[in-house]
Amino acid sequence: MIRLDRSLIQCPSDDFDTRLAALRGKLQKAIELEHSTIPPYLYALYSIKDNSNLEIAALMLSVIKQEMLHMSLVCNVLNAVGGAPRIDDPAFIPSYPGHLPGGVEAGLVVPLAPLSKQVVRDVFMVIEAPDSTLDGDPPSDEGITIGQFYRHLQAEIVALNHQRDIFTGDRARQLRVGFAELQDAGVIDQVSALRAIETIIDQGEGTRVSPFDGKDELSHYYRFAEIYHGRALVANPDPQAGSAPWLFIGHPIRFDPAGVQPVIVNPSSASYHEHPQLAELNHDFNRGYSDLLRKLHQVFNGQPDWLGPALLEMQALKQQARLLMSREIVPGQTAGPTFDYLPA
């Protein structure tokens, strides 16, 4: 998972109310972090041409869907402890290129870039890196992983709930639609909160003994690693002492660079000053993206009926982005959306 500044896991006070407020703040930061991975992943996914790199596109889409699930799960936890997710906010969207929210991985600058093995290795695999890998690849040793951060949140939930029941939020604000993992009672107590957070950890980086999430699906780090290595990850058929228990020796996962649009890296509104038609297309995308965030704000604040319109908005965004990515900005290079927030 993503690596965070240690200040995010420090408790500012022994006072119960202060610690509870800090917990809510950290949960809001977790929502922002889960969301902040989505634009870079979408940008890379949208850059794939029709009928090209199909298996890689499916892997990318599966990760994006689970990031949306993770965002939903954290929103449910925050609502359960009496908080309120803030999504319709200019500050909610990080700047690209730039660092992820919360002092993540100091050396990592996250771009909006077309799909390539380099961006998979140098950005996506760093974002999703576990504490230690099971495939022989050395993990980064800087900072704290999101897995560690979430385990701190679990410990803080247990400690505070031991003093006083912190699950006082309106249960009607729990989102129980959209994903199979949400179709139960939602987050209503300590057990369900810890379970929701464990789902996020396992799906992001795998369990501590397996690259899988406990439900026979590879975690995000290893899905991206399959793209980079060009092979499926399988159990080592001849494990020996000191050898990796999992190896990238399964079926080929071929990457065809010709199947990716030559999209501009890190576009900004300034990129389109001399291209009014592209500027208009980018504005339309950003208007839709901002409207999507407004709809999701309603969804996660007790109005689940907005989920259907939000999903339709997401489909429209895909078409708008792909249209923009099909238009040349200079010979041999196409335009791309900037993921900017536009006020209503």
Q: What are phi and psi of 186, to 5 degrees?
A: 75, -160
User: DSSP string of 53-100?
Assistant: SHHHHHHHHHHHHHHHHHHHHHHHHHHHTT-----SSGGGSPPSSBPP
Give the pLDDT score at 208: 64
Whether the Cβ atoms of residue 159 and residue 167 lie closer than 8 Å to each other: no
Whether the Cβ atoms of residue 123 and residue 40 lie closer than 8 Å to each other: yes
235 Cβ neighbours under 8 A, 6+ residues apart: 245, 246, 247
Question: What is the C-alpha to C-alpha distance for residues 308 and 72, in angstroms, rounded to an integer?
Answer: 15
User: DSSP string of 162-177?
Assistant: HHS----S-GGG---S
Cα–Cα distance list, 89 to 39, 172, 286 (Å): 16, 23, 14
270 in the same domain as 212: no
Of the candidates 275, 306, 224, 190, the residue with the CA atom closest to the CA atom of residue 59? 224
What angle separates helix 307-325 from helix 38-46, to the nearest 10 degrees?
Answer: 50
Q: What percent of the chain has pLDDT over 90?
A: 71
Does any domain span residue 342? no
CATH code of residue 224: 1.20.1260.10
Give the pLDDT score at 1: 47
Give the pLDDT score at 190: 97
Give the pLDDT score at 306: 95
Question: Which of these three, 196, 229, 260, is where a domain ends?
Answer: 260
Range of the domain at 309: 266-337
**pLDDT for 196-233, tens place per residue?**
999 998 898 766 667 887 677 899 999 999 999 999 99
300 in the same domain as 185: no
How many structural domains compose the chain? 2
Write out residues in the chain with pLDDT < 50, as ranges.
1-2, 5
